[in-house]
Amino acid sequence: MKNYFFLVLFVTLFSTQQNAQSQEANARIADSIYSDHLKEQRNFWIKLPENYNPSIAEKYPVVYILDGFSLENTLNVVYENYYGHYLPPMILVGISNSTHRTRDLTPTQIKMRRGSAMDEETGGADNLTQFIEKELIPYIDSKYASSPYRTLIGHSYAGLFAVNIMLNHTPLFKNYIAIDPSIEWDNQYILNQAKEKFKTESFEGVSLYMSLAAEQLHMLDEKVTLSNVMEDTSEFTLFPRSILEFSQVAESNKKNGLHFSMDVYPEDLHGTVPLPSIRDGLVFLFEWFQFKHPQLYNNPETTVAEIEALLNKQEEIYTSHLGYKTPPMVEELFNGYGYMNLQMGQPEKAYLFFKMNIDYYPNSANGYDSMAEYYESQNNFSEALKYVTKAYELNNSDYYKERVEKLKEKN
């Protein structure tokens, strides 16, 4: 099936045009399980990557997002726009925190907060952690082709929860995104833990992205800015001061191996910061995945051998991070580069991309149909018929049926 791209715009438009459209067809799977640790039914949703096929050996990283029902659209927008070039195909899981949110996400029990009595139950983070580790993750792993390469995203109290897991249950996730986290909780309980753990424990292979919404650093005093907020000692600035101090502690203890980054969003509020944070956080965490040297792939002077070497190197990078053999490109990129080279009059390169597409994605009808179009361009209609017939075997659609009939007439 043809999938044409303009040469200059191909890489930049790929994810926003091709994948945003294809992702719309992906059904959202609503599910729930009873938790012995929480003593209640817990709802969650799952979204599978495009071309997900449970019958093949391919595994997928998993992103778990807390407050998953309220942040679902935000995560989907980011993933659909950055998938392919910046982000790998992934399974997305959204966990509900609609009830008992404060209880489930906070690590300690407190009676007072910000000068007022707490009228909610607190300190249940260990139970939610046990639910995720011993019930939810095994459930997802048993039903879907998930890999151990997991990312956890949390905002506000859920950001506090994410940092708590990173510090005390480090191997559970590879990546953590803590969005405007409530690090000031319980007299900076988590911050104080971090100060000690970062000195003595290893966080090698773990990545943490943190953000701060800085449009209002002080609720009552607009003179408090990023340049002077650390000088303020009032309760009103404890939230941003705690996040900034955590960042300083993380940055000053590089020997522990933690891959850390933090962004401050001066124009964002606590409620608006999840969108840019999830975008920048995922791009940071998957920086190693980002497509390397697109200009060389686009350049007509690059040889077939050089392209093969680039693809082999890309595969090595992906495999080393994910821990299992991973294609160097998503299927749509293989397909798009194949057609691009046909348009450029470079059939050898086109064949390479179409052939590798089939090698890495052998269950894709579209891949075989693209190879058939390559052979049609070379006036080899017998080979074209063979590949279209294979596409029809994989996808018994009218489109492929018509393609088979037309190619039979040419043979």
pLDDT digits over 260-288, tens only? 999 999 999 999 999 999 999 999 999 99
Q: How many Cβ atoms from other residues are within 10 Å of residue 250's Cβ?
A: 20
Domain boundaries along the sequence of the chain: 10-289, 301-410
DSSP state of 30: E
Query: What was the pLDDT predicted at 237?
Result: 85
Look at residue 68 in the predicted model and tell me its pLDDT: 96
* pLDDT number for residue 7: 43
Phi, psi of 43 (to 5 degrees): -85, 150
Q: Does the structure show a pLDDT above 50 at 13? A: no
State yes or no: pLDDT of 291 exceeds 70. Answer: yes
pLDDT digits 0-9 by tens, 142-187:
999 999 999 999 999 999 999 999 999 999 999 999 999 999 999 9
What is the value of pTM for the model shown? 0.88
pLDDT > 90 fraction of the chain, expressed in percent and rounded: 74
More confident residue, 12 or 58: 58
Task: Give the CA count within 13 Å in the CB-facing half-sphere of 323.
Answer: 10
Cα separation of 163 and 153, whole Å?
10
Superfamily of domain 10-289: Alpha/Beta hydrolase fold, catalytic domain (3.40.50.1820)
CA–CA dist 298, 301 (Å, integer): 9
Contact present, 265 and 276 (Cβ < 8 Å): yes
Q: What is the pLDDT of residue 23?
A: 39
Q: Would the pLDDT of 1 be above 60?
A: no
Q: Do domains 10-289 and 301-410 have the same CATH topology?
A: no
Give the confidence band of 230 by pLDDT, cuts at 50, 70, 90: confident
Give the lowest-confidence range in 246-250, 327-331, 382-386.
Answer: 327-331
In the structure encoding, which two tokens stand for residue 189, read together? Answer: 């309980």
Domain at 301-410: CATH architecture: Alpha Horseshoe (1.25)
**What is the distance between the alpha carbons of residues 160 and 189, in angstroms, rounded to a whole number?**
10
With 0-12 / 13-18 / 19 or more C-beta atoms within 10 angstroms meaning exposed / middle / buried, residue 27 is exposed
